[in-house]
A and B are shown apart, each in its own frame.
Chain A
């Protein structure tokens, strides 16, 4: 009744208004060809400043006079004009424009005239996800782009690889450009994902060659939201709360009584001292996972304003994120502000823009669980406690006031008590990084005349890290570290600051002209030529200290009041300092030409010269290029009658791009081309200088990636089916890799350009509108698939036996793991002796020797390349998007196959040598005994525990997985509910990440990118709830 009354009142009001001003309220819906509402389309009264934007459903409401004309426009769609007349409801269908902007390196083109292989992800596809890192949100969205996150740390950096691993020691991550500014690819935790309008991935040489030495691994161009000219103020607020949980591994661990019985049988540990009856009555059964992990509570708020006048437009956003990690003491807090401004002169000859992003993030972590080569020391890594702490230890034995000089010895006397040290660490130690991030860019362009434009762009990426990690005085680890035990002051704090400033400047002169007969529109030849000059310089500065000796009375993390000075009588208290200063630079000139004939045929070429300081003078200059051609088949006369294809385009490209980052890191390997001497600590701590252990190699030169690409873009069946298919061949030559040398050099390796590898693959991105909703009451259903297959192969290695081994064992914890780079094989294949089972005669593990005979005593000569590596082959995602009435549903399943990991957790939980220390897997109940001869678990006293000396494949596990990566269900509030409120549109949603995972891998997270996975912090499952409101 009330609603009805409201409706009547509205109608009355509208009539009154109409009578008074001869104006009327026009409502309607703007939809796309598939029937889905277009969000954010502009509806403008032509010739005025009056305008509105559409809501999530594409609905709008505007006041206009009958003589007005309404202009409907949205990026990527063809603009439509409609006279108002007497209409009160104007529904408009916008068709996808072939003039949709295709983002390219230093310019943009259109879908018809682009020659490059690229994929784009709109901001809408990545907004409102419960994950704090934009890169993780992109996972599975782009065919051929591998994004894997091996850590559950909120905002953690991911492994990003486009079209396979193209380098071994050199950089393998794509170049990231945010609004024209190249940025540090490893610190996206401080970037607000909600600011993003689109993310474009340039894949082939035609797209990346213009970036020369930085484009070898692809380029990811992130464009943030900008205001639009001539659009009214739009205010948006989005809020989200989510909960993250650790996903339990599945190692079938013993409970307290189980492990006690095993200990009892082997007469060791606590179980060895108890009778069977006592074990049956044993009441304590501690779940150490609960003591180490928790449910993380996360919050996310975003507030943004966008508006545009005739000459200036702006976008401003403020974001706040607080994510708790599932591991105690971990989390990410981020506050960010963005301001983007665009402007133009009245005659539009001069255009300018600026983008400024400021963020502050606080990242709390448990240092030793996270790094790729993180430690496994049981006293430092709490994940080991979670998985392998003895369940018969009573958590209540942890002293309420922690440890002191009186009870500390008892703690360390029995190593199996290490879980209490983990608890103490949570209380008494911490590690955090505070990031300040500034990404700022400015650009301007001026049209000298109709043909020439001069453009300039400059930007900076500034990252400041403030690291703090501490062990309080009185912490168990501090007490034990003080040899005297009486020193209550032992305690360590490390602090460091670093500043990373990267500047880029790019000046270009651009020329574009049409040739041919007739008017400007009729001319069929379009030629474009651009010349660029680029200057890049980066400065890194860091300093830090470590103070040992803290006064518990005055110590506070990050503050120096509690520092105890170093005195002669006591060397326990001391401080050490460090400082570092590094510079990199790059100077390049490059040009591109592009020719188009009537939108049918196109050719383009790029040539770039780079000068790198990393190589000796003779090898300094690198020349890179690409050539590309396209044929728009659907533009041909013979296709005019064809109704199946709306667009069919064939692309071919070839090019060579370089890589100068010898050791991968941006500031790594800066002077490897020359032998250096370094200051060292000599005998009896005397200062000395020695020849650096890093052997200089003057022959170091560019690593080159040559890639060929053939692709098809298609839209067919009234654009219901859209997609693209690409095949490529990428060949890296003069690889940055270690060359083995004799140990008489004091080291076994030297950095060199060693060998060739190849990546070949195919990529398909396809989506299909199964059901098109022509109105709100129909179901709209789109299904999609992104997939790629990549195969890499080592073609040539400069080694006598065509093979270079890398030992992947770390900390001596996990069994030996060796990977090889071997000619004719995949990169980094595991190199191991095949495990074939258990010898029924004696319970010893059996392996295959090199001649194919079973052996109990394998040697290094029996190892073979296993054909397994941690590089994915098939990977991608699929899912559907559904709309019905005001509801919408999104799903995304991700899959990866072809990956293998050395499951260190499995090896550790099945290691009978650890029975004194760790909880073990109840799979050991299946161990060989004289009465249980046919089994997969060796005898507990098996004679050869060879997996610790010779690499075997016993614990190599495939981590192929299918993961329900993302699901979202939401509701758009109908116009009727938001009318007459200050809200123009609103929606609520519930979403989830990593809801389900299907895999053979028994650990928590099959997404791991490591060679050996042992006690790592796994990625969580996140469930979120949020709403978006526009005013």
Chain B
């Protein structure tokens, strides 16, 4: 009897023991079961794309450069960045770094998984599905590196200067990378893109504005060539993209409506202006929140307005040439004071509501009104790249023609052909048109970084805008290191103390 009791007792203990100590939570998915099939690669690719949707580049350009000025409801929001307090602790430096490496990490996880998966030749189309997934992951990895290089790279035209770490594998957590040179990163990006282009060409992937195909790859190749000064590649890549896209030759009522619809993400001929955009849903970032609290009109509690100096240029162009960008980029509820410089309360009274992201009418509610797709590559940029290539070769006529193509698309009356006699003049005009056309698209920081010194231009804020906040410096010249590259974030140093900081930070 006693023995039976003992036996039962020990049996109970043993079962109880495992029950309490070998616990796996429901719903756990380990790496061994994560990627098995080619279908898994397709499903996983969606998780790579989604990490590309960030607004840090756009926010940096909007707040740090001369695109915006504090709005009537600004109670200190983002003022540190706006007053040029860019240091290794700045959120923009830390998060732009982390989010882009997160994009690269996810691309690498997918690429490493793809190495273990063999597409079945017997299943129709599986090889193409596989190749398309790999090509997109390669392009996204290149895109992540390109955003990092253009913001953190010390001098894009000096291949030996400090770039960013190249990550082409899934690192172990304690991996401590060091910075590759600009040249190494550039070559790596181009190599990934060449590989992707080959795959896309073999699968015959068709163009889709929301998904990466050869037009994205070539646009990125052209952009990176322009950033580093590779003239032949700029011309060949930009031209191959432009084969499929045309701009309006003059702004008409119809083209104005198309242009407006393009920013609202509604269909129409305006789609000719977009090569690739990242689709933003209610679950993704709200671009308009950079400028507005609730909505992009006067009642939406604006945090930042359009910078007055920029507005003045649109205004002048609108008067002289019927530039259609003014009424599209500024909300109609804006109130514009005539004598801004002498207004007693400019922040309250002069309200230049940024409306470039007016909200996608297909998305619901307040949240929908703050969200639009992120336009990554637009047709105009390819024309700018061709102009840039021409300026570099001192072919001023071609440069002027390319810039005029963009102006004609926006002017209601034909734009005169600019004439340049020096490179500085040409760079100045290119920088001006890029400033006007690419406003609020995350280009301005990199443009001043690359072209500011060529044109002897830095940030150009309105003096009255500068009086709206407490800071000694109004315009930052392009000789200031802060306009040239972002600091390696403090967070990176904490885990990777050996990495080299960029000069002066």
Contacts and interface: CB of A to CB of B under 8 A. Distances in A.
Contact of B30 (A537, A675, A914): A675
A945 B89 contact: no
Given A914-B75, A914-B76, A413 B20 contact: no
Contacts of A744: 101, 104-105, 165, 167, 171, 175, 177
B283 A685 contact: yes
Interface residues of B, number: 96
Interface string A827-840: 00000000000000
A684 to B, nearest CB: 5
Contacts of B24: 671
B115 interface: no
Interface in A907-944: 911-914, 916-918, 940-944
B71 to A, nearest CB: 10
A749 B13 CA distance: 39
A423 B73 CA distance: 20
Interface string A681-698: 111111111110101010
Contacts of B49: 682-683
A750 B365 contact: no
A913 B76 contact: yes
A415 B171 contact: no
Interface stretch (B222-230, B291-299, B304-312): B291-299
A773 interface: no
B438 interface: no
A581 interface: yes
B366 interface: yes
A536 interface: yes
A415 B210 contact: no
Contacts of A848: none
A940 B348 CA distance: 18
Contact of B210 (A611, A681, A684): A684
Given A682-B50, A689-B34, A690-B106, A949 B173 contact: no
Contact of B294 (A268, A480, A536, A743): A480
A96 interface: no
Interface in A245-283: 267-269, 272-273
B471 A944 contact: yes
B310 to A, nearest CB: 23
B279 A683 contact: yes
B47 interface: yes
Contacts of A535: 16-17, 20
Interface string A524-538: 000000000101110
B418 interface: no
B46 A688 contact: yes
A482 B366 contact: yes
A741 B278 CA distance: 29
Interface stretch (A13-21, A308-316, A796-804, A972-980): A796-804
B23 interface: yes
B339 interface: no
Contact of B83 (A412, A490, A945): A945
Interface in A372-422: 409-410, 412-415
B472 A943 contact: yes
A686 B298 CA distance: 35
Given A483-B369, A572-B365, A415 B47 contact: no
Contacts of B299: 409-410, 412-413
Nearest to A583: B23
B397 interface: no
Interface stretch (B125-133, B250-258, B492-500): B492-500
A859 B504 CA distance: 11
B473 to A, nearest CB: 9
B495 A941 contact: no
A847 B73 CA distance: 30
A585 B23 contact: yes
A671 B278 CA distance: 34
Contacts of B20: 535-537, 585-587, 611, 613
B490 A916 contact: no
A571 B365 CA distance: 8
Interface in B173-192: 173-177
Interface in A783-823: 799-801, 803-805, 812, 816
A78 interface: no
Given A587-B20, A913-B470, A950 B282 contact: no
Interface string B343-371: 01101100000000001000111111100
B342 to A, nearest CB: 12
Contacts of B26: 581
Interface in A943-967: 943-946, 948-950
Nearest to A693: B102
Interface string A473-491: 0000000111110010010
Contacts of B496: 741-743
Contacts of A674: 28, 30
A122 interface: no
A945 B84 CA distance: 11
A554 interface: no
Given A689-B34, A812-B77, A684 B46 contact: yes
Interface in A996-1031: none
A950 B87 contact: yes
A816 B81 CA distance: 13
A911 B76 CA distance: 9
A677 interface: yes
Given A697-B173, A950-B89, A689 B76 contact: no
Contact of B101 (A413, A746, A750, A948): A746
B19 A747 contact: no
A681 B466 CA distance: 42
Given A587-B17, A746-B106, A913 B295 contact: no
A688 B29 CA distance: 13
B29 A678 contact: yes
Interface in A547-602: 570-572, 581-587
B168 to A, nearest CB: 11
A917 B359 contact: no
A687 B43 contact: yes
B281 A684 contact: yes
Interface in B432-480: 469-472
A742 B171 contact: yes
B23 A949 contact: no
B392 interface: no
A745 interface: yes
Nearest to A585: B20
Contact of A413 (B75, B298, B498): B298
A680 interface: yes
Contacts of B165: 744
A267 B342 CA distance: 12
19 contacts: A267-B344, A483-B368, A582-B25, A613-B23, A676-B29, A677-B29, A684-B46, A691-B106, A745-B171, A749-B495, A801-B494, A801-B497, A860-B89, A860-B490, A913-B75, A916-B74, A942-B470, A944-B83, A946-B85
| Among all A-B residue pairs, the 10 with the closest Cβ atoms | A682-B46, A585-B20, A683-B49, A740-B495, A746-B102, A800-B497, A571-B364, A740-B494, A949-B85, A690-B47
Interface of B: 13, 16-17, 19-26, 28-31, 34, 43-50, 53, 72-80, 83, 85, 87-90, 94, 97-98, 101-102, 104-106, 109, 165, 167, 171, 173-177, 210, 278-279, 281-283, 293-295, 298-301, 344-345, 347-348, 359, 363-369, 469-472, 489-492, 494-499
Given A697-B173, A745-B171, 18 more contacts: A415-B301, A487-B365, A571-B368, A572-B364, A611-B20, A675-B30, A676-B28, A680-B50, A682-B49, A684-B46, A688-B43, A690-B44, A743-B492, A748-B494, A748-B495, A805-B494, A913-B76, A940-B470
Interface of A: 267-269, 272-273, 409-410, 412-415, 480-484, 487, 490, 533, 535-537, 570-572, 581-587, 611-613, 620, 670-671, 674-691, 693, 695, 697, 739-750, 799-801, 803-805, 812, 816, 859-860, 911-914, 916-918, 940-946, 948-950
